[in-house]
Chain A
Amino acid sequence: MNPCRSQRLAAVLLLFVAGGLAWGCTGRKQVPFGLRDAGQDSGETATDVEEGAPGLPVGESYGPDQVEVRVAESTLVLKLGYALAALRLNLDGKEPVDALVVSADTQQVRLQAAYPRGLDVSSRAIDSFLVPEHCVGPTASIGQLSSSLVAARVEHQCETGKRTNLWLVTIEAQPRVRERITVLPPNEKSSADIAIELAVEDRDADGYEDVVANLRIGKTDVPLAWLDRPGGFARDVSEPEARLKELADGAWESFSANSKSASTRALAVLDAFVALCRESGAARVGLSGTQGLQCQQSPATARAAAVAISASIRRGSFVRALELQRWWQNPALQPSPEERNLVQAAWRKAKANALASWRAIDSEGGRASLYFRDADTLVIDGRAPRQVQLSSGIKTQLSEAELVPAIRDPSNRFAVRGVRATCAGFEAELGPIRGRQSHRAPIERRSSKSPCRTPIDRPATVFEWAVLGWAPQGLVAASGDLLRVVPLNQFAKPAGRPIDLGTTSPLPAPIRGARITTDGTRYVIPHPEGVVVRDWRNGGAGLWLRPADWEKVPGDVRSIAISPDGRKIALQKGSEIRLLSW
């Protein structure tokens, strides 16, 4: 090393150490945001404001049409809107006391500071937000949270529930918003009640007060903390994952002893993840105008999903289990091998219908498409297309002209080739029955909140989307317990937004497809460990079919079909084609 350079480095180091010592020897702690350097003694302020009142002061809330707010001997007359709440306190360290005022009009909600100046009151805007659409009746409350912080809460009643906005504001001559927390009303994916309470405590035991937002999501408490650090508040990024992990681990450990309770805990974790994390695509808790916390990977939620799936399988809710298994498609929720094994074991042990039996009827080395021509005739569209008379076992070769795709439109002109997962979402690939042209119809569009970084175009898996059949109205597609109609016109082109069907909604009819009965009352969902039969007449209940010797037949389920009467299933497992009945 160059000696001159090393000397310079040593000098810089010495200066740094000396500077640090000098700073430490002043006897002052590091002060975040310069709060206690802001021209006032916050302790005094607190004392002044607290005079005559137990605990920290709480502001006054107003009814509608309040346009004047008394500040010391003067009055603040609002130029826009009406006052919702006000807290009188000393902001600038000078007498008389000032105020923080929350006001609203039809467009905006505002937070402002008011300072008496002689007979007049001058005001200064601190922050504002637009009144959310379809929300009415704002109410507000304001109170001092600590000697240096005030919390102001504004609530709107919106179409689906309450919307809360919380300001965390510094007490200083020119108050600043340190954090704005928003809790949105319920949405389609998150319906849990969310309550939020702010508190101050020294969470990291560094002698400074940190802010804790205790969120109650349904019956689950999740704390979010802002640690008072040099330079300002820093959100404690170990939350919410730490709390979710605690809950998920609890669910995991109790699963073998009490799967019901474990499932409740696991579902609470999933609810909390949806409500809190941006990665869920439906977050309801936001900070400083952005919706959802950046949770990134959440092993805790992936673990909770494993428990919830396994519990669903154990209690026989097979369709629900398939639906829950979709959680693992979220890149933020990758399960560990241990968690995958738990679910796989649950499928293997699932209470299968005792009457389920199967027999081999044919074999095919490559993948074959199966469909029933009628209750007794199975078409095997493979290397050598043929049909099998199930009652007699007689096989008849079929010509190309005699083959038609199972999922085709009512005019026999177009057919479904498959479902593709792409950056646009999940798309049905359609084309003329005879011909190579194809086009696509969206089944589910990718959320704009989960961008596609690498282009993809792959077949959808069994846990994603599958087209069950083609009704006059369009395609009937299924994913877990979701059933959706994708409207298509007579030229197989998309014709309007898809429709999700509830379990009480009648299905379109007639439906043409290998995996669904014509009236849509029963359809089959293949699974590596067996077959789920869903019965729409019984509120969508699922039946798990797994013959005792399922594992003795090597290979995966490659093709599956249900008979028109819904009483027989043909499937290709590995190279064997088998007939399953129950």
Chain B
Amino acid sequence: MMDPRWYSPGALRCSPQLLLALVVLLTVAACSGARSRPATPCMSDAECRAERICHEGKCRFVEEALAELATPVVGPDVAESGGAPRSANGFMGDAAHTGRSKNRGPSSSPSLAWTYQTGARVFASPVVGNDGTVYIGSLDGQFVALNADGSLKWRYAAGQKIYPSALVAGSSIIFGTHQRELVSLSLQGQTRWKLPLEDVVDASATLGPDGRVYVVANGAYAVDLLGRLHWHKPTADHVRSAPAIHPARLLIIGTTEGSLIALRPDGSLAWSVQLRGAIEGAASVDDEGYIYTGTGRGEIVQVDQTGAVQWKFKTGDEVRATPAVARDGTIIVGSYDGNVYAISPSGALRWKVATGGRVRASARIDADGRIYVGSQDNFLYCIDPSGSVLWRYNVGQDVDSTVEIGSDGTLYFGSDDGGVHALR
């Protein structure tokens, strides 16, 4: 029980020591308010008092600067159509994985501009930042930022394989590695944070409309741009499909056991549908809100936003690529049977193009509707919207990496020889 002397009003009135303590306390409190004072302009850290640093021309505490850096920034492709949320620069161009690009790729046979050689297979898709820097990881554990001329800007050493493509969200570059962690770097390659996960990461992260980053490993994780974990929804098995964002505020992931799962923004399960075939590629969402995914049974499946299967289209072998969605709603996807398929939104075959090898890479669609897709026959294909092959380029090795289209029309992709190639 508290000693009554400590709370007697008389004691407050009569004790000069207590009054003195109060004055000291008030002074200290006033001084400690420095954190909330407006930031003073500066040119260097030396001009800042106490523990503050000069950040973007103003004296700030490190925590303030970090909090500012964490402000969600959504990229230029926001709400391109249909009100669907779109990610910043990342795998398949947007958070719905439509594969569409606002840029125009080459319509005639291009030539090699440069190759950056890594030490192992490049499975990831390059991602181009707003300043033209190309970001990509390799299975030799390096993640590189390349200048537009192919020279090295900086290199991050992960120490383990990097399968996923990067997510460039504002001034952060985010990707997972086989080091069992999610990494966030600044555009200069400095580590922002690393979040340990419970499993290796094989798929790209996606930026949600709520500014959170969604990533999969042994289930789905929601992380903010400060690297704080908000929730983890474990799944029975490993997940290799990058999360797709549905306009009905759903996160769509597929599991290697064949379940297509929709999660709400709080991580709760909205629905799950068993498709009876491993889902290795990501799902995509069209402008009407229909969801598409390929399965290990060789099927391309359309599912509505309640989880009801609308139709299935059967190919001759496994489908591991992410279906791209053209602006007219046509679904473009390759299969391990060696064909690239164009399927109407009602599930009918529009055309198919035979390549000489399995098609693992996902297709990208440029502003004119031209389709760019690699095959394990060592060629990169350009197909027009009617299904005619405009050109094909011999890379010399399997192309499992999905193409990225630069603003100047340069095509960037990786291949099994460890090269990151630029064609224009």
Binds B, one of A278-286, A374-382, A504-512: A504-512
Q: Is A117 an interface residue (CB 8 A)?
A: no
A501 touches B157 (CB 8 A): yes
Q: Is B45 an interface residue (CB 8 A)?
A: yes
Residue of A nearest to B179 (CB): A499
CB distance from A421 to the nearest CB of B (A): 24
Residue of A nearest to B196 (CB): A497
Q: Is B389 an interface residue (CB 8 A)?
A: no
- Which residues of A in the span 474-521 have a Cβ within 8 Å of any Cβ on B? 474, 485, 487-491, 493, 495-497, 499-502, 504-510
| Chain B residues near A27 (CB-CB < 8 A) | none
| Chain B residues near A29 (CB-CB < 8 A) | none
Cα A485 to Cα B177 in complex, Å, equals 15
Cα A507 to Cα B155 in complex, Å, equals 8
B62 touches A499 (CB 8 A): no
Which of B62, B142, B194 lies in contact with A487, CB distance below 8 A?
Answer: B194
A473 touches B181 (CB 8 A): no
Tell me how many residues of A have a C-beta within 8 Å of chain B: 33
Interface residues of B (CB under 8 A from A): 45-46, 51, 53, 62, 65-66, 118-119, 140-142, 152, 154-159, 179, 181, 183, 185-186, 188-196
Interface of A is mostly: loop
A489 touches B192 (CB 8 A): yes
A-B contact pairs, 11 of them (CB 8 A): A471-B155, A471-B189, A489-B192, A490-B186, A497-B194, A504-B119, A505-B140, A505-B141, A505-B159, A506-B141, A506-B142
B118 touches A506 (CB 8 A): yes
- Given A410-B188, A472-B189: A508 in contact with B156 (beta carbons within 8 A): yes
Cα A493 to Cα B194 in complex, Å, equals 12
B119 touches A434 (CB 8 A): no
Which of B119, B179, B185 lies in contact with A473, CB distance below 8 A?
Answer: B185
With a 10 A CB-CB cut-off, give which of A434, A437, A508 has the most chain B CB atoms: A508
B157 touches A488 (CB 8 A): no
| Chain A residues near B140 (CB-CB < 8 A) | 504-506
CB distance from A552 to the nearest CB of B (A): 41
Cα A509 to Cα B118 in complex, Å, equals 14
Cα A540 to Cα B140 in complex, Å, equals 16
Cα A510 to Cα B141 in complex, Å, equals 16
| Chain A residues near B189 (CB-CB < 8 A) | 410, 471-473, 508
CB distance from A476 to the nearest CB of B (A): 9
Residue of B nearest to A499 (CB): B159
B157 touches A505 (CB 8 A): yes
Cα A437 to Cα B53 in complex, Å, equals 12
| Chain B residues near A496 (CB-CB < 8 A) | 181, 183, 191, 193-196
Q: Is A442 an interface residue (CB 8 A)?
A: no
Interface residues of A (CB under 8 A from B): 409-411, 413, 432, 434-435, 437, 471-474, 485, 487-491, 493, 495-497, 499-502, 504-510
Cα A485 to Cα B141 in complex, Å, equals 13
| Chain B residues near A504 (CB-CB < 8 A) | 119, 140
| Chain B residues near A472 (CB-CB < 8 A) | 154, 156, 185-186, 188-190
CB distance from B10 to the nearest CB of A (A): 47
Which of B51, B158, B194 lies in contact with A437, CB distance below 8 A?
Answer: B51
| Chain B residues near A435 (CB-CB < 8 A) | 45-46
- Given A493-B62, A497-B194: A473 in contact with B156 (beta carbons within 8 A): yes
Which of A413, A437, A488, A501 lies in contact with B191, CB distance below 8 A?
Answer: A488
A495 touches B158 (CB 8 A): no
B193 touches A489 (CB 8 A): yes
Which of A488, A491, A506 lies in contact with B62, CB distance below 8 A?
Answer: A491
CB distance from B258 to the nearest CB of A (A): 24
| Chain B residues near A490 (CB-CB < 8 A) | 186, 188, 190, 192
CB distance from B225 to the nearest CB of A (A): 13
CB distance from B403 to the nearest CB of A (A): 24
With a 10 A CB-CB cut-off, give which of A409, A410, A473 has the most chain B CB atoms: A473
Cα A497 to Cα B191 in complex, Å, equals 11
Cα A508 to Cα B142 in complex, Å, equals 8
Cα A501 to Cα B154 in complex, Å, equals 17
Cα A505 to Cα B178 in complex, Å, equals 13
Which of A411, A432, A499, A509 lies in contact with B158, CB distance below 8 A?
Answer: A499
| Chain A residues near B196 (CB-CB < 8 A) | 496-497
B190 touches A473 (CB 8 A): yes
Cα A500 to Cα B179 in complex, Å, equals 10
| Chain B residues near A495 (CB-CB < 8 A) | 191-194
With a 10 A CB-CB cut-off, give which of B152, B185, B191 has the most chain A CB atoms: B191
| Chain A residues near B193 (CB-CB < 8 A) | 489, 495-496
B156 touches A502 (CB 8 A): no
Cα A435 to Cα B189 in complex, Å, equals 25
With a 10 A CB-CB cut-off, give which of B119, B140, B159, B195 has the most chain A CB atoms: B159
- Given A499-B179, A505-B141: A489 in contact with B191 (beta carbons within 8 A): yes
| Chain B residues near A473 (CB-CB < 8 A) | 154, 156-157, 185, 189-191
B46 touches A507 (CB 8 A): no
Cα A490 to Cα B152 in complex, Å, equals 20
Residue of A nearest to B53 (CB): A491
CB distance from B13 to the nearest CB of A (A): 44
A509 touches B159 (CB 8 A): no
Cα A488 to Cα B185 in complex, Å, equals 10
A509 touches B188 (CB 8 A): no
Cα A472 to Cα B186 in complex, Å, equals 9
